[in-house]
Amino acid sequence: MKIALIGYGKMGQAIEKLATERGHTIVAKATSKAPVRIADLADADVAIEFTEPSSALKNIHSAFQSGTPIVVGTTGWYNQLDEVKGNCAEANGALFYASNFSIGVNLFQSVLKYTSELMKNYAEYTPSIHEIHHLAKKDAPSGTALSLADIVLDNSDFEEWTDDDEDQTKLKISSERIGDVKGTHEVHFTSSIDQITLEHKAFSRDGFALGSILAAEWVQKKKGVFTMRDMLKNTIG
């Protein structure tokens, strides 16, 4: 498989290492100083994109124009997802996006779904979410935290989330940016007498990198918009 890397920071380099070990070839590397060209994408079987929210949409549309399937790990653009889905259908393209490509995080989400369904019967427990990432991460809360929030909101009396400590009427999401933390997500269910906590902690970027490569392998010859749930539907339900 020939891969075009859009974004060649720490994630891009981790993807390159693991992809090469799996027998794939990197045919293009785009950076903020050398943006991706449609000609670069035309030579690739798939593009893997980890950049910034301000760049992601342009990169997705370039992939649609070139007819190249694209795997997107950038978050912060999902408010335009409906438009992107329409563009994907119009171009007969393929988009695989995820707030987190870690297999462990997606298993964690399934555990949270089960736990949230159980906890909704116990109103004395108030859910909240806390996430920690490295200083260079642009969006806060993280895309993964928002995905976790969607699961909790489906199974609680809260209708929206907030990052305001004073607002007790919404699901609280708090964020920290510390050093080179790869990603920690905690979901708390707190009562006046105890607390139940679910936590996922990433030790390296390899889990995210491997997941994006597996997605790139999986999306070959497919058309449409896909997520990790589509790829893992036989294992996480």
Active site residues: 133, 137
Of 112, 122, 100, 97, the C-alpha closest to 227 is 97
Tokens of 55: 């760049």
Phi, psi of 52 (to 5 degrees): -135, 155
Phi, psi of 224 (to 5 degrees): 125, -170
Is the distance from CB of 127 to CB of 116 less than 8 angstroms? yes
Of 168, 173, 132, 137, the C-alpha closest to 152 is 173
